Amino acid sequence: MAKKQQEKSQQTMDELMASAVELFGTKGFTQTSVAEITENAGYAKGSFYRHWDSKDELFLQIVERKLREYRDARDPKVSGAHDLEEAMNIIWDFLETIINDRNWSSIFLEFTIHSAHSEILKKLMNKSIYRLSNQIFADLVRAHVRTDFPPEKIGALNTALFEGFLIHRTLGTQVLTIGDVRRAAIALALANGAKNG
Amino acid sequence: MAKKQQEKSQQTMDELMASAVELFGTKGFTQTSVAEITENAGYAKGSFYRHWDSKDELFLQIVERKLREYRDARDPKVSGAHDLEEAMNIIWDFLETIINDRNWSSIFLEFTIHSAHSEILKKLMNKSIYRLSNQIFADLVRAHVRTDFPPEKIGALNTALFEGFLIHRTLGTQVLTIGDVRRAAIALALANGAKNG
DNA sequence: TTCCAAAAGTGACCGCAGGTCATTTTTTGA
DNA sequence: TCAAAAAATGACCTGCGGTCACTTTTGGAA
């Protein structure tokens, strides 16, 4: 059997990824070094690069997995919504759970800005598997839009407000609560997407 | 006279800052090294640290100067506004000029996220001289708010939407135009701050 | 004009980062 | 038992922000 070796390799990847999730989640992306990730998992630095080409690549994999988990918990709920307001409320219940997932939302934000340095990363970050953004929200909201305002823009404005709040929160500013932003985002979506403004 | 030496020192600072403004404005904060800044200005790396304690400190000085310039051009206009809508429109004329100032808005954004790694920097970035944010917009809008919705929150929501759009734009996503965001921000401010919603 | 203290300017050096790769260790199946 | 293949290693590379002992320039007092 040529199985054991693959299994060992997979286990190493899992251990390294678990170590990375722990460290990224505590210290953020930039502040966590590859050497720390491997050391924390009991390997040498070189082992990391047998499994991933770069720190970026590992982070993208973690993001993908986390977003998939979030969505699996969310999508069934949203599809049961009856109108735009209900859909938006479910979306914001979801965004609030993300906000409460340690400080991952801030770390996503950090990586999003980091990705601006590379054209390749930028393109990747526009894909829906790496972003809670645009297309996704648009799709969730589309069925309930009663005006000719593009659902994509409703989704993008929602993301903008959410990510703007993340910046606000990252800096430790206290003026806004997530409730404030939630109300504003829903009001905005309804003004644009519900019959009579 | 002990003047010439001070003058020379000031000239060096000016030259290094001009070099930094040029490079930051082209390549961003992280991608510009201190060695590049000094080399581009014709000095050795060590000279930089005679005038600033860190790359961060120089960047803050540049931000402070740029924001002062922006505001000097804006404040007289806003103070002539007669109602909330007019004030918001003037504010957004101003935000659009910032967006059009090469890619400085994205670089501000980059540094804002960068500052999250240091408590000291975070505190500094909450000061109005380093941010186009919260307090400033609140003050500009306060006189025209006709509800009991806090002007600070109107200002902060406006900033959130603007900075969220910056992220969107930095990633090269095409869904939103600045016009879309402007309309949304003004609608939001009026819904919260004008009589009858 | 001489001279020396203070200021400006220099660049080798430090620690640490992400990433590479020749080498060693372990696993596997014949 | 053994050799090929895969996994693991850590010294090493380049480049970063930042330091500091040193050299050069400057300016005023003797």
The SS3 assignment for B96 reads: helix
Structure tokens at B168: 């969107």
**H or E element in which residue A48 lies:** helix A45-51
In chain A, the percentage of residues whose pLDDT exceeds 70 is 97
Question: In 3D, which of B60, B168, B6 has the Cα closest to residue A113?
Answer: B168
Confidence at residue A1, expressed as pLDDT on a 0 to 100 scale: 42
Half-sphere exposure for A178 (CA within 13 Å, toward CB): 16
Distance, first Cα to last Cα, chain A: 67
Query: Which CATH number describes the domain made up of B55-193?
Result: 1.10.357
B47 CA to D21 C1' in angstroms comes to: 14
For residue B158, how far is the Cα from the chain centroid? 14
Q: What is the identity of the amino acid at A165? A: F
- Whole-number Cα distances in Å, B115 to A112, B37, B72, B112: 15, 21, 26, 5
A163 touches chain B (CB under 8 A): yes
Domain ranges (residues) in chain B: 1-52, 55-193
Instruction: Note whether B137 and B91 are within 8 A (CB).
Output: yes
Residue pLDDT tens, chain B, 197 long: 456 777 878 999 999 999 999 999 999 999 999 999 999 999 999 999 999 999 999 999 999 999 999 989 888 888 889 999 999 999 999 999 999 998 999 999 999 999 999 999 999 999 989 997 678 889 999 999 999 999 999 999 999 999 999 999 999 999 999 999 999 999 999 999 998 64
Work out the number of other CB atoms within 10 angstroms of the CB of residue A155.
24
The residue with tokens 């599809």 is A79
B76 touches strand C (CB under 7 A): no
Nearest to B168 among A160, A172, A173 (CB): A160
B190 touches chain A (CB under 8 A): no
**Topology (CATH) of A1-52:** Arc Repressor Mutant, subunit A (1.10.10)
B2 touches chain A (CB under 8 A): no
Average pLDDT over residues A3-29: 91
| A38-58 per-position pLDDT tens digit | 999 999 999 999 999 999 999
